[in-house]
Amino acid sequence: MVSRNTFAALSSAAVLLAALAGCAPADEASPSAGASASASGSGPACAPGGLATRTAGKLTIGTDNPAYEPWFNDNKPANGKGFESAVAYQVAERLGYPASNVVWTTVTFNNAIAPGPKTFDFDINQFSITPERRKAVDFSSPYYLVRQTVITTKGSKIAGARTIAELKAAKLGAQVGTTSYQAINELIKPAAQAQVYNNNDDAKAALENGQVDGIVVDLPTAFYMTAAELDNGVIVGQLPQVGVPEQFGLVLDLGSPLTTCVSQAVDQLRQDGTLAVLEKQWLASTGGAPELS
């Protein structure tokens, strides 16, 4: 664990890591056509610390409550710990806003991606970039590529499943409005209607109580839940990647004057290896998560 006071050293460490590795890991691929285009030279000047933010001289960042591991630590987004908290502070720094000028605000997942004015400059909360959502909000360049994963508990009827076909008779659930829920309906297509929950805590409770056979979450959350939150938790497997790789992006108001500058900051973090360093520091590897065919 590191505090945000050590983040400034990450860039040089990232450069060294990139040189040793020779290339970035697969998760840090270049943005695809499915993501918001990043700016390169043609956008407005991004004056450090002088952007058209909600509060002059401050950068307001939104996320949900609770803020889950491993994306945040101890449900405290402002402590700089956890992958998304660390990414947020790195983006802020590249925009010219030190940690002392960052303000956090609580915004539910659904409200953040709903149409209408926002209470934040950008929001970070595992938002997958989709064409439908881009009708209501702006997205930055992607900062993480993700896979959806089925988890359960030992003794469940799907604990030993190795194929999607073996999941079709299962009762599955996921958080409302997420691509996890979408994956159940579009990839698994179970016979029983997918159960929907307000948040991952509610979905996890349903699994523990035997109300569902399994739940779908993103891969890093799957590792954390099965290791630290569920008794006898089991990763059943990762769902197949279909079409454009699923990508997480920062959410901004539709037509926000900050989108170009925020995307530039994310691109810098990818190109200098900082995102790769943060991913290795805070997110578990994909080992131990078999592919479901």
- Mean pLDDT, residues 8-28 taken together: 33
Q: Please give the backbone phi and psi of residue 175, each rounded to the nearest 5 degrees, phi first.
A: -70, 145
- The CA angle 241-217-177, to the nearest 5 degrees, is 95
Show the tokens assigned to 4: 């945000």
What CATH class does 148-238 carry?
Answer: alpha beta
What does the pLDDT read at residue 184?
Answer: 96
pLDDT digits (tens, 9 = 90+) for 102-131: 999 999 999 999 999 999 999 999 999 999
Q: Is the predicted pLDDT of residue 76 greater than 70, yes or no?
A: yes
SS3 85: helix
Q: Is the predicted pLDDT of residue 27 greater than 80, yes or no?
A: no
Neighbour count for residue 185 (Cβ, 10 Å): 13
Contact 250, 123 (CB under 8 A): yes
* Domain extents in the chain: 4-145+247-282, 148-238
What pLDDT band is residue 265 in, cutting at 50, 70 and 90?
very high
Domain 4-145+247-282 matches domain 148-238 at the CATH topology level: yes
Neighbour count for residue 41 (Cβ, 10 Å): 5
SS3 243: coil
Q: Which fold has domain 4-145+247-282?
A: D-Maltodextrin-Binding Protein; domain 2 (3.40.190)
What pTM was computed for the model?
Answer: 0.75
